[in-house]
Structure 1
Amino acid sequence: MAITISDVANEAGVSKSTVSKVLNHWTTISPKTVARVQAAIDKLHYVPNARAVSFARQAAKNIVYLTDLGQGTAYQNPHMFDIMSGVHHELTRHHYTLTLVDTSEESYPGERAIQEIQRRSADGLIIHGSAVNEVLAQHILKDNVPHIIIGHPNFESRLCWIDTDHALAGEYAAAHMLACNYYDVLFVAGRKSDILSSQRLKGFLKGMLNQKHHIPNKRICYTNATRLGAYETVLPVLQDRASLPQAIVCENSTLALGVSRAITELSLSIPKDMGFLTFDCYPYAGIIDPAPTVIDINVYDMGIQAGNMMIRKLEYPDLLIQSFTTLPILIQGKSTVPC
């Protein structure tokens, strides 16, 4: 039979409420009582569940994370799992649990989040930006739900959100290209509708133009955001040896893997024939040869900050959080040669 909070209370000679307060780290409980309760927990090998822990606080001590968990998502959006891991790490440190809720089969955008709000089954919501719309925003704000949105919403509101500055990452890439004297650069992007890809491209073009170097449209290759799509898009461009670019910038490492295949098949040498840079170490930069130069963003750290801001939001409900966080970093590889 499973050990219960009542068993611990009887063993320690205290009430269930006192045990729950100890589990919730209340500072009003004397050190002597805390030690007695902890000794009972250790003796009985008691593992508290979320409901028992929240008994005295009348709080769930649980945060719901809403995102698309459909098949293949790990490959289409690998950053999401690093973000979730960071969130989980930080919430666990504050004695919160994290519940994942899948939004991939919603009958309308925001459906699952609205259901969670109506159930009041958690202390707060962390929502991937793709699952947010203006109708959901109205529900969140009307019911004063503690929340953090991962990603800048594409509409104006008083929602709390954090995001990474992908346009700034694009500017970092441009600065590195210029530092290597690469002026004629091919940018391999995802779909035109991909917000993240568009932001990185926008920042890159801005960074180049700020130094009087214009990137023409013919040097921007849009793809279907897959490895194969990148390969098929870039291959004919590189087959024209008379107009090879000085360097290639790939919007993420999935595209970079496809471009790397095209470069290898055409017997081009990196960095001798052209420079090569990609955004994002994960998931494929580590298997590309030679080791590429990377503009990376620590999205695990972004998750930690999201978790921390969620805790702050619970402590200060009126706090408005709208910020870019986690700066990009340049990881110098063997595929570019700074001057």
Structure 2
Amino acid sequence: MTATIKDVAKLAGVSPSTVSRVIANSSRISEKTKKKVRDAMKQLGYHPNMIARSLASQTTQTIGLVAASSNDLVFQNPFFPTVLRGISEGAHEKQYSLHMTTGKTEREIYEDVVKMVQGRRVDGLILLYSKVEDPVLGYLMERNFPFVVIGKPFKHVEEITHVDNDNFRAAKDVTKHLVDLGHERIAFVGGNLNFVVTVDRVLGYEKALRDVGIEMRNEYVVHEEFVREGGQEAMKELLSLDEPPTALVVADDLMALGVLNTLNEIGMRVPEDISVVSFNNVMLAEMSRPPLTSVDINIFDLGFESARNLIQMIENPKEPVKRIIIPHNLVKRDSCGPLEFSNPNQMVQF
């Protein structure tokens, strides 16, 4: 026989209304009582009817996730499963479920968001990206709908709760690391300039060069997709230059893997012939050959904090706007070496 809320209340020694408040995770109930009720629910195998609860409370207990695109290129990148794991854990703590957009184009994504908002399918949204121009963000602000951005908004920064790294500082730090190793011909391999993270990292790279009086060369800045093939294309372009770089700042570990593959194919050694530093510090950075020096941006924490802060906004509409900066650190491995190890005049024919 299926257990009821009254059965849980009887076993826990509380009233049915207290059980309901525990299910709703009410702050009015002590942690001791919550544990007692949850233990009784587990013992009886009781699972609350979330649909009925949503109808009664006018909430869905669901968070919507908006990716820049649902195409295969996006999900090839290890960043996304890691950030989703953080979001999932943050949502699970408060018994929220997740609903993700499936649109492949900007128009489809926008229409998905409108359906989720106007159909009250979710209580709030997390944007897994930040673009220079994004109609979704404008729509959400106009509707005054709860949302959090992973990344720094390009506009209205003081009006939007967002969770981000200091990407300007991180790129400046890694470029300085290469400068300290004696490199001056340092290239930047970035993603799409419509993403704010790319803009911030380019600016940090440029600032590090200016600080030590190194002229930035336009031909040393290349932008491709955040996938392995993007790194391969960028590498071919850079090594075809009359004066190829001796070091690379690559905006993503997956792109860096493409860089390493291309260098290996043409017989160039890392770091003896060229140094490579990257971002994200996902598992493949440690497993690549050689292991990549990479900036750990604490991806899981980006996801966890975005979910936690969105739920705070949902449950308290007066929650103030926040800017949460997740710290970064440079993990030094074997892909960077001093300039004297490299052969700056090596040219490659493709």
* TM-score over 0.5 (shorter chain): yes
Structure 1 counterpart of 2:280:
280
Name the CA distance, whole Å, in 1 between partners of 2:212 and 2:17.
66
Distance 1:331 1:187 in 2: 19
**Structure 2 Cα separation of the partners of residues 281 and 27 of structure 1:** 37
The answer (yes or no) to whether the contact 1:90–1:308 under 8 Å persists in 2 is: yes
- The answer for the alignment partner of 1:120 in structure 2 is 120
Partner of 1:160: 161
Does the CA-based 8 Å contact 2:152-2:196 persist in structure 1?
Answer: no
Q: Which residue matches 2:299?
A: 299
User: Which amino acid letter does the alignment assign opposite residue 92 of structure 2?
Assistant: T
Quote how far apart the aligned CAs of 1:279 are: 1.9
| Offset from partner CA, 1:164-194 (integer Å, 9 cap, x none) | 2322221111121122121221222334545
**Greater alpha carbon shift after TM alignment, 47-56 vs 150-159:** 47-56
Displacement after TM superposition at 1:243 (Å): 3.7
- SS state at 1:125 partner: strand
- In the TM superposition, what are the counterparts of 1:52-67 in structure 2 within 5 Å? 59-67=59-67
CA root-mean-square deviation: 3.6
Cα distance change of structure 1 residues 177 and 100 upon mapping to structure 2, 3 Å threshold: same
How far apart, in 2, do the equivalents of 1:327 and 1:286 lie?
Answer: 20
Q: Say if 1:125 and 1:213 are closer, same or farther in 2 by CA, change over 3 A.
A: same
* Displacement of 1:69: 6.1
**Contact 1:9-1:16 within 8 A present in 2 as well:** yes
Equivalent position amino acid for 1:323 in 2: R
| Counterpart residue number, 2:223 | 222
The answer to whether the 8 Å contact 2:153/2:196 transfers is: no
Counterpart residue number, 2:190: 189
Matched residue type, 1:98: L
**What does residue range 112-261 of structure 1 map to in structure 2 within 5 Å?**
112-129=112-129, 136-137=136-137, 139-141=139-141, 143-156=143-156, 158-235=159-236, 237-238=238-239, 243-261=243-261
1:300 deviation in Å?
Answer: 0.9
Which blocks of at least 5 consecutive residues in structure 2 are unaligned? 340-350
| Per-residue Cα deviation, 1:106-160 (whole angstroms, up to 9, x for no partner) | 7455322222222234332223345897765565345442221223333337333
Report deviation, 1:301: 0.6
Equivalent-residue separation in structure 1 for 2:113 and 2:134 (angstroms): 13
Looking at structure 2, the residues matched to 135 and 283 of structure 1 have their Cα atoms a distance apart, in angstroms, of 34
Whole-Å separation in 2 of the counterparts to 1:117 and 1:31? 33
Q: Which amino acid aligns with 1:111?
A: E
Residue equivalent to 2:20: 20
Q: Aligned partners of 2:238, 2:42: CA distance in 1, in Å?
A: 67
| Aligned residue identity for 1:206 | K
Residue number in structure 2 paired with 1:104: 104
Q: Quote the offset at 1:265 in angstroms.
A: 2.8
Q: Counterparts of 1:10 and 1:197 in 2: how far apart (Å)?
A: 57
C-alpha displacement at 1:306, in angstroms?
0.9
CA gap 1:119/1:275 in 2 versus in 1, 3 angstroms: same
SS of equivalent residue, structure 2 residue 101: strand
CA distance in 1, matches of 2:288, 2:39: 54
Shift of residue 201, structure 1, vs aligned partner: 2.0
Partner letter of residue 179 of structure 1? Answer: D
The change in CA–CA distance for 1:313 and 1:270 in structure 2 (over 3 A counts) is same
Q: Which runs of no fewer than 5 residues in structure 1 stay unpaired?
A: none
Tell me the distance in 1 between the aligned counterparts of 2:137 and 2:196: 20
Q: Quick check: 1:188–1:251 contact (8 Å CA) kept in 2?
A: yes
1:110 match: secondary structure? helix
* CA distance in structure 1 between the aligned counterparts of 2:252 and 2:335, rounded to whole angstroms: 15
Which SS does the other structure have where 1:197 is aligned? helix
Equivalent residues in 2 for 1:75-86, closer than 5 Å: 75-86=75-86
Larger deviation, residues 31-40 vs 99-108: 31-40
Aligned residues: 338
**3-state SS, counterpart of residue 276 of structure 2:** strand
| Residues 17-67 of structure 1: CA deviation (Å, up to 9, x unaligned) | 443123234466699987885575344311224346668865433322233
TM-score by length of 2: 0.79
Rounded to whole Å, the distance in 1 between the matches of 2:223 and 2:155 is: 25
Tell me the SS of whatever aligns to 1:214.
Answer: coil
Preserved contact between residue 238 and residue 263 of structure 1 (Cα < 8 Å): no
Letter in 2 for 1:318: K
Contact preservation (8 Å) 1:128, 1:150 = yes
Matches of 1:336 and 1:279, distance apart in 2 = 14
How far the C-alpha of 1:12 sits from its partner, in A, is: 7.2
Structure 1 letter corresponding to 2:156: E
AA in 1 matched with 2:261 = R
| CA gap 1:76/1:324 in 2 versus in 1, 3 angstroms | farther
The percent identity for this pair of structures is: 27
Displacement after TM superposition at 1:235 (Å): 3.5
**Residue-by-residue CA offset, 1:229-274 (whole Å, 9 max, x unaligned):** 433442464367x844332222222221222123223333322223
TM-score by length of 1: 0.81
